Amino acid sequence: ENVVNKIAAGEVIQRPASALKEMLENSIDAGSTQISVLVKEGGNKLLQIVDNGSGIRKEDLPILCHRHTTSKLREYADLETISTLGFRGEALCSISFVSHMAVTTMVRGAQYGYRVTYKDSEMEAPGPRPVAAVPGTTITVEDLFYNVPTRRKALKSANEEYGLILDVVGRYAVYSTGVAFSCRRQGDSRPDISTTAAGSRVDGVRSVYGADVARELIPLKVAVGGGTGPEVPVDGPMGMSVEGLISGANYTTGKKTVLVLFINGRCVECSPLRRALEGLYGALLPKASRPWIFLEVRLPPRQVEVNMHPTKREVGFMHQAEVIEEIRRAVEAKLMASNE
Ligand code: ADP
Ligand code: MG
């Protein structure tokens, strides 16, 4: 049974960056305003995330890594209105099957925290040990895939895996204004990503992607239909809002299109949208045809397939063609106006 579990876990968690993405979302869900990531050997040897969020209560620690343990889904009906980032209760379970995992956590107002280690979804003896701590949670994942050689072999070099980690942290850092992020390789004195909680989104872009990108960004806002609440019927009129930042005619140094896309708070990929925008820039701004684009899209929750398999980075949602066309038109209008 453990073999099956390990294989399943290797599907959910494919590489260090995917483990980190899940942990970042958990830290954000926990209301953190500071999230620090420490990496050793591309995340293979060590992936540590320190947050100052809600912490985890002692009584929740024994089942923390059990499959489907989640504090984010109380009733099945919540599936339709869920607004937090994760709800599957799969991530920590999976990580515990394919690594050595330790959690130190303290809830606000407590005198001390607890430290626990996990293996194959179970808390290890002797259970939670009291330790001096500060409010928040530190999760340490060591030796990822030590027991799944096929996964380990499929990984790229430590540098490339670290690049993928930086990509994930950078996207969340731009998205989550109000949260200070840092990401550092163990042994390096300076972090590769370091943002502040007080900065604007453009400040975040500047510190993660550079001044070249941040300088020329054009703000974008679209609202369609009757709001984005759960009251919007699945097959009724579409409700959508988009806020974005897009590069314009003067951003000619981009080497490839960067699309930082969040739909209902989750960082996702959407190839048809990417292709539509690439086509648009190529046609309108041939010299600036490798754009940098940030889009925060809100759709009625029941129109987005939040329940999709975690390995699918591609998001599924209803009215996809219409949504993409609305976004394409809004970007087109902005580019035309700025290019006059
Ligand atoms: P999910 O996020 O889908 O609920 P996870 O396996 O990612 O499932 O996490 C399981 C649960 O562990 C979460 O629902 C949350 O209650 C708790 N948890 C995980 N990470 C943190 C954290 N950094 N701070 C507080 N609680 C956490
Ligand atoms: Mg989660």
Q: What residue type is assigned to position 300 of the chain?
A: P
Tell me the mean pLDDT in the region 277-305.
Answer: 90
What does DSSP say about strands 34-40 and 193-194: parallel, antiparallel, or unpaired?
A: unpaired
Place of tokens 């309108």: 284
147: Cβ contacts below 8 Å, ≥ 6 apart? 6, 98
The rounded Å distance from CA 27 to ligand 1 centre is 8
Dihedral angle sign, alpha carbons of residues 302, 306, 312, 314: positive
The rounded Å distance from CA 329 to ligand 2 centre is 34
56 lines ligand 1 (CB under 6 A): yes
| Residue 240 confidence (pLDDT) above 50 | yes
Q: Looking at ligand 1, which residue's alpha carbon is closest to its atom 23?
A: 27
**Shortest-distance atom of ligand 1 to CA 89:** 8
Which pLDDT score, from 0 to 100, does residue 211 have?
96
Of 48, 92, 95, the residue with max ligand 1 atoms within 8 A of its CB, to mutate for a pocket test, comes to 92
Domains of the chain: 2-208 (3.30.565.10), 210-338 (3.30.230.10)
Which pLDDT score, from 0 to 100, does residue 152 have?
94
289 lines ligand 1 (CB under 6 A): no
| Residue 158 confidence (pLDDT) above 90 | yes
The rounded Å distance from CA 86 to ligand 2 centre is 4
In the beta sheet, which residues pair with residue 103? 116, 139
Ion ligand 2 residues within 5 Å by Cβ: 26, 86, 91
60: Cβ contacts below 8 Å, ≥ 6 apart? 69, 71
337: Cβ contacts below 8 Å, ≥ 6 apart? none
Distance between CA atoms of residues 216 and 297, nearest Å: 21
Q: Using an 8 Å Cβ cutoff, are 246 and 332 in contact?
A: no
Ligand nearest to the CA of 93: 1
Tell me the CA distances in angstroms from 15 to 49, 167, 293, 317, 323, one per residue in order.
Answer: 16, 13, 25, 26, 31
The rounded Å distance from CA 113 to ligand 2 centre is 21
Distance between CA atoms of residues 245 and 230, nearest Å: 26
Q: Using an 8 Å Cβ cutoff, are 123 and 62 in contact?
A: yes
Ligand nearest to the CA of 91: 1
The verdict on pTM exceeding 0.80 is: yes
Which pLDDT score, from 0 to 100, does residue 311 have?
56
32: Cβ contacts below 8 Å, ≥ 6 apart? 51, 52, 53, 136, 179
Query: Rounded mean pLDDT of the chain?
Result: 88
